[in-house]
Structure 1
Amino acid sequence: MMELGLKGKKALVTGGTRGVGRGIVLALAREGVDVITCHRQDGEMVDSLERELKEIGGQHAVLRADLTDPEQIAGLLGECRSRFGRLDLVVNNAAVISHIPYGELALEEWQRVIDTNLTAVHLVIQQALPMLGDGGSVVSVSSKSIEVGIPLRSHYTATKAALLGLNKSLAKEFGAKGIRFNVLSLGMIHTEGLDAMPAEQRDQMIERYSAMISLGRMGRPDEVAGVVLWLASDLSQYVTGAVVPVDGGIS
């Protein structure tokens, strides 16, 4: 296997106890990266991630933080500072979604989604910057859905589209300091959320989406993690301000 040179690097991954975030956390840990991640609610997913990280070994922490609360974001970044002293990689993965007809979209719900999916990303990056040096990499997770639009998800797609503008501006502003900013545009990824659906509904979804994907199947969290490993490594040191599609060729 190719040596990525990530051993001993320090990373923060938001929303890392399930789905894509979990895949990223575990892949980084297996490459020798020390990882801090956060979650909103305690539960078995948190406990099992802590067990897995302990088995892999390294300096890891799974912390509770509500990213709609700026004080808790400050606390999370304070933990990164006190535990690591620096960061080499920040992955903005935490996000919320809901499906609501636009005419019925309450301001409170609009603000909850904006706060989690966009404002939190801004605050995490801003407070991580003093810990990021030359070679630092910031990866934000967006969605292929912003290219086509999805009914009932106007608030969600608005936040995911906004990440592109934020990313490109920051790439230009901090390029001279050697800090890179990139976005992942995710297609359909098979996570435990899909497995939790009733079997018939799940199978219909898998069949429907697989027919739209060039590779004929949905992606896996570890395949998203592979792209993050690349963006964390020196192999991608000339890549910044980019939107990297991780979608199996969905159309």
Structure 2
Amino acid sequence: MDLELRGKKALITGGTRGVGRGIVLALARAGVDVVTCYQNDSEHVGSLERELKETGGDHHVLRADLSQPEEVAGLLGKVGERYGRLDLVVNNAGAISHIPYAELSVEEWGRILATNVTGAHLVIQNALPLLGEGSSVVSIGSRASDAGVPLRAHYTATKSALVGLNRSLAKEFGPQGIRFNVLVLGVIETEKFHAMPEDQKKLMAERYGAKTALGRLGTPDEVAGAVLWLASDLSRYVTGNQIGVDGGIS
């Protein structure tokens, strides 16, 4: 099916690896011009640039620390110069750590919030001049915010905050035709999963796969499919929602 996305303009944060990379490549293959960003240099940056070049289109991979307001403003300034508008924004960049709550420092609490919540807020706010009728903003959430996960209180708090932000923005900007939705992810097979020792990977796949209705983990391409739908006119009456991409996990 042709979703008629060719020529649309998108910004995907944190798109050089994992779920973000899957989204970037799926959009590029659908004919969308994509800007993505990364915080730290790695081999993933160069490999993504090569894949995008082979795919064709007007794509850019830029460095930006989303916890720094001036860097977010600079990123969106470059997007505006290159594209003049945005049809899709995906807040995918995020940080996570595993720390007992009694030992959670205010510095680590602040670091996770700065990236996962304040970063998303700054991206959306700076993108507003580029968004218009029909634009779609998607934030990547986690089923962990519903279930609760030990050692991740700070992370789950940020994913819950994204839901509240999404609901308010959907109502505030609905009259302008701008849509806001959260994709709530289950366990997705990313590079980190595939880098695990085989026995650990097998145990994780069995443990979490058994919790899903489909009996398996998800893939970045399957998350990307939901983003493609939310970027298209097929979802033009969908806003202010949490949409599960979790295999029916319980």
Provide the C-alpha distance between the structure 1 equivalents of 2:103 and 2:197, rounded to a whole number of angstroms.
Answer: 27
Could you list the per-position Cα deviations for residues 110-144 of structure 1 after superposition, in whole angstroms to 9, with x for gaps in the alignment?
00000000001001000101100100000000000
User: Mapping of 1:101-112 within 5 angstroms?
Assistant: 101-112=100-111
Could you list the per-position Cα deviations for residues 150-178 of structure 1 after superposition, in whole angstroms to 9, with x for gaps in the alignment?
00000000000000110000000000000
Question: What's the secondary structure of 1:79's corresponding residue?
Answer: helix
Partner of 1:40: 39
User: Mapping of 1:38-187 within 5 angstroms?
Assistant: 38-187=37-186
The sequence identity of aligned pairs, in percent, is 69
**Amino acid corresponding to residue 140 of structure 2 in structure 1:** V
Structure 1 stretches lacking a partner, 5+ long: none
Provide the C-alpha distance between the structure 1 equivalents of 2:68 and 2:128, rounded to a whole number of angstroms.
Answer: 19
Provide the C-alpha distance between the structure 2 equivalents of 1:199 and 1:79, rounded to a whole number of angstroms.
Answer: 42
Provide the C-alpha distance between the structure 2 equivalents of 1:202 and 1:66, rounded to a whole number of angstroms.
Answer: 31
User: Mapping of 1:184-195 within 5 angstroms?
Assistant: 184-195=183-194
Question: What's the secondary structure of 1:134's corresponding residue?
Answer: coil
**Amino acid corresponding to residue 218 of structure 2 in structure 1:** G
Partner of 1:14: 13
Partner of 2:224: 225
1:197 Cα deviation (Å)? 1.4
**Amino acid corresponding to residue 34 of structure 1 in structure 2:** D
Partner of 1:201: 200
Provide the C-alpha distance between the structure 2 equivalents of 1:148 and 1:24, rounded to a whole number of angstroms.
Answer: 25
1:37 Cα deviation (Å)? 0.2
Question: What's the secondary structure of 1:37's corresponding residue?
Answer: strand
Provide the C-alpha distance between the structure 2 equivalents of 1:7 and 1:124, rounded to a whole number of angstroms.
Answer: 23
Partner of 1:249: 248
1:16 Cα deviation (Å)? 0.1
Question: What's the secondary structure of 2:132's corresponding residue?
Answer: strand
**Amino acid corresponding to residue 238 of structure 1 in structure 2:** Y
Provide the C-alpha distance between the structure 1 equivalents of 2:154 and 2:30, rounded to a whole number of angstroms.
Answer: 36
Question: What's the secondary structure of 1:87's corresponding residue?
Answer: coil
Provide the C-alpha distance between the structure 1 equivalents of 2:220 and 2:96, rounded to a whole number of angstroms.
Answer: 18
1:68 Cα deviation (Å)? 1.3
Provide the C-alpha distance between the structure 2 equivalents of 1:178 and 1:211, rounded to a whole number of angstroms.
Answer: 40
Partner of 2:24: 25
**Relative to structure 2, which stretch is displaced further, 175-184 or 203-212?**
203-212
Provide the C-alpha distance between the structure 1 equivalents of 2:196 and 2:157, rounded to a whole number of angstroms.
Answer: 26
Provide the C-alpha distance between the structure 2 equivalents of 1:207 and 1:143, rounded to a whole number of angstroms.
Answer: 20
Partner of 1:240: 239
Question: What's the secondary structure of 2:213's corresponding residue?
Answer: coil
Partner of 1:212: 211
Could you list the per-position Cα deviations for residues 42-89 of structure 1 after superposition, in whole angstroms to 9, with x for gaps in the alignment?
121111100000000000000011111111111110110111110000
Q: Normalized against structure 2, the TM-score is what? A: 0.99
**Amino acid corresponding to residue 231 of structure 1 in structure 2:** L
Provide the C-alpha distance between the structure 1 equivalents of 2:80 and 2:97, rounded to a whole number of angstroms.
Answer: 33
Structure 2 stretches lacking a partner, 5+ long: none
1:29 Cα deviation (Å)? 0.2
**Amino acid corresponding to residue 132 of structure 2 in structure 1:** G
Structural RMSD (CA): 0.6
Q: Normalized against structure 1, the TM-score is what? A: 0.99
Q: Paired residues, what number?
A: 250
Question: What's the secondary structure of 1:146's corresponding residue?
Answer: helix
Structure 1 moving runs of 4+ over 2 Å: none
Provide the C-alpha distance between the structure 2 equivalents of 1:43 and 1:126, rounded to a whole number of angstroms.
Answer: 28
